[in-house]
Amino acid sequence: MFLSKKMKKVDFKNNISWIKDNQMSDGSIVWDDKGKCDPWDHLECLISLAIYEEHEPFHAGIEWFLQNLNDQFLIPPLFQNQQIVHDHFEFHHAPYLAVALLQYYYSTNNKKFLLDNLEVLRGITNKTLEARDKYGYFYWATDKKGLSDNSLITATSSIFLSLKCTSSIYKILGIRSLKLENEIAEIKKIFDLNSVRFNRDKIDRSRFSMDCYYPYLSGLLKDGSLVKSLQNFYVDGIGIKCVIEEPWVTFAESSEAIIALVRSDEKKFAEQIFNDIMKFRGDDGIFSTGYQFSENIYWPDERSTWTNAVVIIAADALYNITDKPKAILA
């Protein structure tokens, strides 16, 4: 039995402040005071800012992202102290921009902002669709040596959600893109969790909770088996483990699982997990990244902005704290 409290927008004002406090002068949103920033998590933070209609930091964050796209519509995967760390590119990062743009539109009804970013969005979409192998699966990354011969379940799911948000933006702007619609349908048709394309590195993906729930979060799967699958990762009273054999719950993975459950019409379990993780907020309401329950410590020693962002996104999906449409559920 668990107690249920319907969350409200005001309940996460400190989390939004934490995200804004960790935005650098160039517009990037770092994980915490250690200065690390990756574009996907940066965009996750922007989605939460869009939910709260925090216009100035949202636009500064979008501008940083656009300035760091290269002429191939790709963005480096990691920055440290505002400097590029890696020289490869991961294909699921850039298209996630569409989710942030769509959420901002849903919050503000600002169609001009979508129009202003339409050409960039088209370029990203075209580049992303080029990153499919002969079987239709997305390569994970590319660098100077070429394409990485690997596909990831979570990255593919993220791309699928991003393309759906792009399609929604096109429709809002009155643009018909039969090619994109066909591509989205084809991606869903061929998607197979057991495909050898997801196991070319011979790593057992069933060990990772993200690979369990992300196809459901994105809408690639809806077969009624999510609750049963998540039981392998659920720790009663704490949340969702990252890796099945590790005594470590992360509040981001727990929140993403909540979103997946909401999309799958399993709100009772979603609310149970949400109530679990709410017990681990700091005195100021901020979430740490994770909790190592065998040692009873928060680990790692960080309160990541993106963790707090996805908690907000999950709260909005579950409790409708804004009474606005949700891009994450597109």
Predicted model pTM: 0.97
Instruction: Give residue 18's pLDDT.
Output: 98
Q: Where are the domains of the chain?
A: 9-329
Task: Estimate to the nearest angstrom the gap between the alpha carbon of 35 and the chain centroid.
Answer: 20
* pLDDT, position 150: 86
What string of DSSP letters covers 203-258?
--GGGBHHHHHHHHHHTS--SS-HHHHHTTTEETTTEEBSBTTSSEEEHHHHHHHH
Is the confidence at residue 1, as pLDDT, over 60?
no
Residue 197 scores a pLDDT above 90: no
Per-residue pLDDT tens for 22-41? 999 999 999 999 999 999 99
Round the average pLDDT of the chain to a whole number and report it: 95
Residue with tokens 């790709």: 74
* Residue 216 scores a pLDDT above 70: yes
- The rounded distance, in Å, linking the Cα atoms of 162 and 247 is 32
- SS3 of 41, please? helix
Q: How far apart are CA 16 and CA 233, in angstroms?
A: 28
Percent with pLDDT over 90 in the chain: 92
Question: Which of 155, 269, 290 has its CA nearest to residue 214?
Answer: 155
Among residues 230, 328, 321, the alpha carbon closest in space to that of 5 is found at 321
Q: Which CATH architecture fits 9-329?
A: Alpha/alpha barrel (1.50)
Q: Is the pLDDT of residue 145 over 60?
A: yes
How big is the chain, counted in residues? 330
If you average pLDDT over residues 191-220, what whole number do you get? Answer: 90
Inter-residue contact 261 to 226 (CB < 8 Å): yes
| pLDDT classification of 2: cutoffs 50, 70, 90 | very low
**pLDDT by residue (tens digit) across 91-110?**
999 999 999 999 999 999 99
**243 pLDDT tier (thresholds 50, 70, 90):** very high
Residue 14 and residue 21: Cα distance in Å, rounded?
A: 10
pLDDT the model gives residue 3: 44
d(CA 265, CA 224) in angstroms, rounded, equals: 9
Maximum distance among all alpha carbons in the chain? 55
Q: Element (H or E) spanning 312, and its range?
A: helix 305-319
pLDDT of residue 4: 52
CA angle 145, 150, 152 (to 5 degrees): 130
Both tokens assigned to 189: 């048709």
What's the pLDDT score for residue 137? 93
For tokens 């939460």, name the residue.
48
